């Protein structure tokens, strides 16, 4: 199998879709609300949601479909649906919980029947079924061994193919902790075993891309090398991506390590909904560590301050701009590598109401949401939502993205985008430091341009000045990606 065939797989060269993840739960912490129309309004053609075993089968043989039906009722048939099925159950798994972490089933036959019932109930309207998420994160997202994960993956695969043969099974996502090391790290060993022993139990390999977009090609290459090492290659999907995140900035590493070490002392083995609600606002090690961080906000590096709620307005605005730029960069780099599905993390907070920022997960990911609630309505848009919608519009009809190397411009990132029924699109940016690079002046780029006119808009919605002379387009290119069409 060639790399391009393995990259496109069942999608074909014209099957590119941009998607959005709802969040880490749906209907678990509150009534399952409407979100698919909101994602659709941003141009998303794929939605991903999490469903937990205990939500659907609260006791053996008794099924409740409120959450699943709330999702299905929002579909119009044009979107693709990806469900991450988490094996969290108060009664059916080794570690009893309705939320985190998922753990091995007491009885694989019972697990297989649960999967079969859910897949049949969805009657072909769900295209992708994922077996848990980031299982190599064994502290929180999988309380079992790699061998136990493979056993559960094989059971899911058989059940999905029995109930919906056309649906694809997605391997639980893996990220930087797997690809950042070629040695024997725990995450690397975990996925090495899964990719070897579970090779016949999944259709799609899910890679999660957080942080600096320039690392995308290396991460995707790492996933392919992991599969090739075991003699095969399957299509890659990107089930999560977003930036910025604190751990991409080395300057904040020491402070982050100190905070995380303090926050995760005496952490309970489970994080059930009841336990989380009970601990909300309590004086836990996590809250003490985060409070200490907030108390010295003004002394923290600006690259860390911008992730805190209530940070200075200029840093808040800069973080939004980084978010917008990286959203575009990650997609262009990913699509140029042959990947055909990308899913942004995430759409919005889990439920309406105030959010407690003094949580480590809020520090890491809390500001990445595209939308927010106004009352009980998901109607407030952050700048990245506008950028996602702009990107979706610019890529409508996309059939291929090709990176163009410019020999005398090593920092210039250039992409030719072919679009069915539309003229070609050129996307350009100058590679710089993601935080400080916007303070540098733009560089002048001359590009062959046979058309007499050019329409230019950048990832922030601005319209940079351009000139056309003698078949050459003259552009002022900065860190902010720009879209150029005739």
- 377 forms beta bridges with 374
Same domain, 41 and 142: yes
Check residue 13 and give its pLDDT.
46
Mark whether 408 and 472 lie in a shared domain: yes
Q: Write down the pLDDT at residue 280.
A: 73
Say what the pLDDT of residue 345 is. Answer: 98
Going by C-alpha positions, the residue among 357, 345, 237, 379 that lies closest to residue 294 is 357
Based on the fold, state whether residues 342 and 403 are members of the same structural domain: no
**What three-state secondary structure class fits 388?**
helix
Domain range for 355:
3-394
CATH number at residue 416: 2.60.40.1180
Listed residues 331, 363, 394: the one ending a domain: 394
User: What does the alpha-carbon distance between residue 347 and residue 220 come to, in Å, rounded to a whole number?
Assistant: 24
pLDDT band per the 50, 70, 90 thresholds, residue 278: confident
pLDDT digit string (tens) for 126-148? 999 999 999 998 778 999 999 99
Q: How far apart are alpha carbons 423 and 414 in whole angstroms?
A: 17
What whole-number distance in Å separates Cα of residue 39 and Cα of residue 368? 15
How large is the average pLDDT for residues 96-102? 96
Q: How many domains are there within the chain?
A: 2
Token pair in block for residue 388: 């996602």
Residues 205 and 284 reside in one and the same domain: yes
> Could you give the angle at the alpha carbon of 229 between the alpha carbons of 226 and 234, nearest 5°?
60
Helix (H, G, I), strand (E, B) or coil at 240: strand
Residues 254 and 389 placed together within one structural domain of the fold: yes
Q: Which helix (H) or strand (E) holds 19?
A: strand 17-21
State whether 356 and 470 are in the same domain.
no
- Model confidence at 8, pLDDT cuts 50, 70, 90, reads low
Calculate mean pLDDT across residues 446-474: 95
Co-location of 169 and 274 in the same domain: yes
What is the enclosing helix (H) or strand (E) of 290?
helix 285-295
Strands 377-381 and 128-131: unpaired
Output the domain CATH number for residue 69. 3.20.20.80
Whether residues 410 and 382 share a domain: the answer is: no
Residues 339 and 415 in one domain: no
Please check whether residues 359 and 405 belong to one and the same domain.
no
Mean pLDDT of 348-358: 93
Q: Which of 369, 394, 419 is the last residue of a domain?
A: 394
Q: Please tell me whether residues 128 and 111 are part of one structural domain.
A: yes
Answer whether 226's CB lies under 8 Å from 181's CB.
no
Give residue-wise pLDDT tens across range 212-269: 999 999 999 999 999 999 999 999 999 999 999 999 999 898 888 888 888 777 667 7
Which CA distances in Å does 118 have to 66, 145, 379?
A: 12, 25, 30
pTM assigned to the model = 0.95
Reported as half-sphere exposure (CB side, CA atoms, 13 A), residue 165 has a value of: 0
77 shares a domain with 191: yes
Final residue belonging to a domain, choices 394, 415, 437 = 394
- Mean pLDDT for the chain? 93
Q: Is 423 exposed, middle or buried (0-12, 13-18, 19+ CB in 10 A)?
A: exposed
Mean pLDDT of 68-75: 98
């Amino acid at each position: 199998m060639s790399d391009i065939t393995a990259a496109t797989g069942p999608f074909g060269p014209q099957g590119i879709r941009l998607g959005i993840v709802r969040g880490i739960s749906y209907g678990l912490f509150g009534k399952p609300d409407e979100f698919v129309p909101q994602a659709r309004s941003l141009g998303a053609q794929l939605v991903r949601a999490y469903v937990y075993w205990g939500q659907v089968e609260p006791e053996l043989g008794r099924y409740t479909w409120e959450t699943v039906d709330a999702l299905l009722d929002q579909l119009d048939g044009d979107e693709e649906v990806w469900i991450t099925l988490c094996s969290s159950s108060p009664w059916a798994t080794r570690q009893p919980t309705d939320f985190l972490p998922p753990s091995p089933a007491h009885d694989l036959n019972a697990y297989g029947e649960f999967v079969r019932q859910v897949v049949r109930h969805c009657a072909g309207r769900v295209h992708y079924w994922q077996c848990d998420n980031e299982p190599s994160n064994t502290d929180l997202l999988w309380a079992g061994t790699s061998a136990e994960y493979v056993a559960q993956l094989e059971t899911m695969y058989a059940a999905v193919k029995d109930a919906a043969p056309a649906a694809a099974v997605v391997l639980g996502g893996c990220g930087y902790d797997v690809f950042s090391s070629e040695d024997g790290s725990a995450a690397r060993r975990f996925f090495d075993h899964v990719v070897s022993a579970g090779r016949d139990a999944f259709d799609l390999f899910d890679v999660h891309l957080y942080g600096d977009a320039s690392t995308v090609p290396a991460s995707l290459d790492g996933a392919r090398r992991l599969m090739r090492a075991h003699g095969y290659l399957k299509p890659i999907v990107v089930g999560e991506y977003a930036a910025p995140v604190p751990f991409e900035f080395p300057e904040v590493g020491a402070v982050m390590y100190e905070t995380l070490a303090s926050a995760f002392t005496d952490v309970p083995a489970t994080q059930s909904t009841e336990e989380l609600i009970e601990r909300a606002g309590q004086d836990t090690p996590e809250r003490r560590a985060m409070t200490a961080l907030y108390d010295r906000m003004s002394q923290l590096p600006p690259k860390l301050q911008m992730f805190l709620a209530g940070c200075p307005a200029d840093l808040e605005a800069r973080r939004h701009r980084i978010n917008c730029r990286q959203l575009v960069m990650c997609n262009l780099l990913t699509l140029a590598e042959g990947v055909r599905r990308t899913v942004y993390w995430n759409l919005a907070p889990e439920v309406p109401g105030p959010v407690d920022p003094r949580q480590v997960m809020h520090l890491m990911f809390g500001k990445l949401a595209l939308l927010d609630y106004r009352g009980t309505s998901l109607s407030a848009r952050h700048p990245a939502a506008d950028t996602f919608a702009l990107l979706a519009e610019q890529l409508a009809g996309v059939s291929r993205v090709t990176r163009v190397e410019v020999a005398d411009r090593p920092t210039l990132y250039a992409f030719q985008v072919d679009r069915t029924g539309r003229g070609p699109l050129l996307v350009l940016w100058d590679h710089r430091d993601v935080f400080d690079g916007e303070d540098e002046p733009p560089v002048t780029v001359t590009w062959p341009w046979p058309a007499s006119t050019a329409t230019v808009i950048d990832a922030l919605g601005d319209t940079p000045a351009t000139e056309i002379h003698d078949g050459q387009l003259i552009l002022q290119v900065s860190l902010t990606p720009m879209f150029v069409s005739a």
